[in-house]
A and B are shown apart, each in its own frame.
Chain A
């Protein structure tokens, strides 16, 4: 199908399929999925600035659907999400304005700069995710094998160091006493400066406005480590915050001509279905089970940008993005079916006991 705003031909099934995969991963991990959506659009010839704006637009609908489910599951802290709104809006506007400055130098310049930023961000995140999850798994395996052995193994020490750095950083930021101070007893937050949350939200907002990502990969760890949210609440709250960052980002980018509504609508049809399955999956599948997979997906998304941008091989880029999106979808669905079956078995056994 020909999309006149962007001026490219894209198969509708590709957009719906990518939307479905992105929706499922977004609903499951609490992000908008822009980190795979923008490279997927860029791979089929959509200019980077329109890929960014369009990703944000479809993210709004996807986040609304996912929020519905997370609200039913009790995964949303409206108070924390509301406190993130001002910082998010400021950040998104800064990101969108940086994009406008880049556009004055021409489309090729935008593609180049945003691609390089994506490569840096995704590869950094991939390295962190892979190292952290592999260390955690090693530590868990050691703990199982040597339950009675008190001596710490090198892998335990590495994991402890990684955790220590995050906890120390969170503790340091929590010491900030600039008023207004907020409290949220439900989330075990006694007293915290509003400005800490504002800064974290602004940073994710800048990423949303400039790169078209929901920022869930940054917001969820922030909520978990900094505010002390349980992981499921962090995921739900992040989805709620994405409605705001996505809506403001899509609006400001649409005003600047960076959104192709038809592409966004095609992807949203798939994403709206995928987001519901992904959100529902959080009830039965532990996110930690898929952390390595998330890291690998980030590496592949980075590789697709490198292949498209520096080697001019769009077909390979499309295959990489579509392949990893499909694989992640398949794994989440398989784990969900297994989880539902296990829960049903447990329920039947319980009923038989009574």
Chain B
């Protein structure tokens, strides 16, 4: 974990544009991964995630 903290700190101090891109990229990738994983688990558990009727 320390190597990651050091790397991120280095980007933060030296290249803010890279740091900003990494920030957005990291949170987006984790969000997507968890979203896909969650959908897969819901399907496996047989949860009802069909569309709701909003009328």
Check B23–A57 contact: CB distance below 8 A: yes
Set of chain A residues within 8 Å of B34, measured between Cβ atoms: 61, 65, 272-273, 276
The interface size of chain A toward B, counting residues with CB under 8 Å, comes to: 44
A185 to chain B, nearest CB (A): 13
Q: With an 8 A cutoff between CB atoms, is A5 at the interface?
A: yes
CA distance A72 to B42 in the complex (A): 11
A63 to B6, CA, bound (A): 28
Q: Which residue of B lies closest to A230 (CB)?
A: B54
Known: A74-B52, A254-B20, A255-B16. A268 touches B27 (CB 8 A): yes
Docked complex Cα distance between A118 and B2 (Å):
34
Q: Do B9 and A5 have beta carbons less than 8 Å apart? A: yes
- On whether the beta carbons of B4 and A60 are closer than 8 Å, the reply is no
Q: Does A294 contact B (CB under 8 A)?
A: no
Given A57-B27, A262-B4, A265-B30, is A64 in contact with B51 using a C-beta cutoff of 8 Å?
no
Contact A257 B38 (CB under 8 A): no
A61 and B51 within 8 A (CB): no
Q: Is there contact, CB below 8 Å, between B32 and A64?
A: yes
Q: Which residue of B lies closest to A75 (CB)?
A: B52
User: CA–CA, A268 to B23, complex, Å?
Assistant: 12
- In the assembly, what is the distance between CA of A69 and CA of B20, in Å? 27
Given A68-B38, A74-B52, A261-B19, is A251 in contact with B27 using a C-beta cutoff of 8 Å?
no
A268 CB contacts on chain B under 8 angstroms? 27, 30-31
Interface of A is mostly: helix
How far apart are the CA atoms of A251 and B27 in the complex, in Å? 11
Q: Does A179 contact B (CB under 8 A)?
A: no
Please, which residues of chain B bring their CB within 8 A of the CB of A272?
Answer: 30-31, 34-35, 38
Given known pairs A3-B5, A65-B38, the reply for A232 and B52 (CB within 8 Å) is yes
Determine which of A233, A250, A343 lies in contact with B24 in the assembled complex, contact meaning CB atoms within 8 Å: A250
Q: In the complex, what residues of A have CB within 8 A of residue B38's CB?
A: 65, 68-69, 272-273, 276
In the complex, A325 has a CB within 8 A of chain B: no
Q: B27 is contacted by which of A61, A67, A75 (Cβ under 8 Å)?
A: A61
Contacts of B21 in A (CB 8 A): 251
Q: How far is the CA of A233 from the CA of B51 in the complex (A)?
A: 11
Chain B residues with a Cβ under 8 A of chain A: 1, 4-6, 8-9, 12, 16-17, 19-24, 26-28, 30-32, 34-36, 38-39, 42, 47-52, 54
Beyond the given pairs A72-B50, A255-B17, 10 more chain A to chain B contacts, judged by CB atoms under 8 angstroms and listed by A's residue number, are A61-B28, A64-B28, A67-B35, A68-B35, A251-B23, A261-B19, A268-B31, A272-B35, A276-B34, A280-B47
29 contacts between A and B (CB under 8 A): A3-B5, A5-B9, A60-B28, A61-B28, A61-B30, A61-B31, A64-B27, A65-B35, A68-B38, A73-B49, A73-B51, A74-B51, A74-B52, A230-B54, A247-B24, A247-B28, A251-B21, A254-B20, A261-B8, A261-B19, A262-B4, A262-B5, A268-B31, A272-B30, A272-B35, A276-B35, A276-B42, A280-B49, A283-B52
